[in-house]
Amino acid sequence: MTKEEIIKPENLVYKKPTLMNDTPMHYCPGCSHGVVHKLIAEVIEEMGMEEKSVGISPVGCAVFIYNYLDIDWQEAAHGRAPALAAAIKRLWPDRLVFTYQGDGDLACIGTAETIHALNRGDNITIIFINNAIYGMTGGQMAPTTLLGMPSSTCPYGREASIHGYPLKMTEIAAQLEGTAYVTRQSVQSVPAIRKAKKAIRKAFENSMNGKGSNLVEIVSTCNSGWKMTPGKANKWMEEHMFPFYPLGDLKDK
């Protein structure tokens, strides 16, 4: 097929979601954030919620998500996104409200807000990007850093006797009465991306149907912080992250 034939509307098999604008993304090549942004845009479009979605953006590498997806956004102080999402959803129940947070944001600085919003059963979705370190600020150890995993603040690897144990926020969320759907996904391969998209759709639908709160963890890479090529980071994630953070649904009420 010639280029002219390929770009004919009837021959197109893929197009960028219209909610994703042309602003060049600032992410490192190979970073998981951009893939998850695209899935969120696709799901919102497929649900017809373009004019009725409010995202709460994090502090962290994804802080500029509001520049890339053309929906309504509110920026929260570091860790406070679930509290803000709960307030917006209560004031505006017909809106699809979600947060987008890294593991430093969600599992450290905002642990309290996360647990209480999920436990109250606020009809929101929390998208939790777990790359096991603080990406934006130079790759420091996060609560999610694996035992033995090096970071800029534990260059010899995390040691339980000094740094404590990695925190499984998603397992905690599954125990809370207020959560409807709690799942752990990834986006390192095409099948994984398809499953992650289904999970985001289910979580968003639950939140619109008043079923309670929803947490979608995406086990992710931070190839820059991990000091690996994108390909090696994906492999490392499969070998080291997945055994400790196994993929799949933890709760589906």
Ligand X SMILES: Cc1ncc(C[n+]2csc(CCOP(=O)(O)OP(=O)(O)O)c2C)c(N)n1
- x-or-dash pattern for ligand X, window 40-69, by CB under 6 A? -------------------xxxx-------
Of 28-36, 43-51, 88-96, 144-152, the window that binds ligand SF4 (rule: CB under 6 A) is 28-36
Q: Structure tokens of 39? A: 């899935």
The encoded tokens of residue 178 equal 């207020």
- If one counts every other C-beta atom within 10 angstroms of the C-beta of residue 203, the result is 25
Binding-site partner at residue 104 among ligand X, ligand SF4, none, CB < 5 to 8 Å by type: ligand X
Query: Three-state SS for 133?
Result: strand
Does residue number 104 form part of the binding site for ligand X (CB under 6 A)? yes
Distance of alpha carbon 75 from the chain centroid: 16
Nearer residue to ligand X within complex by CB, 119 or 140? 140
**Minimal distance in Å, beta carbon 242 to ligand SF4?**
18
Does residue number 136 form part of the binding site for ligand X (CB under 6 A)?
yes
* Closest among 243, 32, 47 to 131, alpha carbons compared: 32
Region for 143 from its dihedrals, namely left if φ exceeds 0, alpha if ψ lies in -120 to 50, beta otherwise: alpha
Report the chain's C-alpha Rg in angstroms: 18
Binding residues vs ligand X (CB under 6 A)? 59-62, 78, 102-105, 109, 129, 131, 134-137, 142, 222
Binding residues vs ligand SF4 (CB under 6 A)? 27-28, 31, 33, 61, 131, 135-136, 222-225
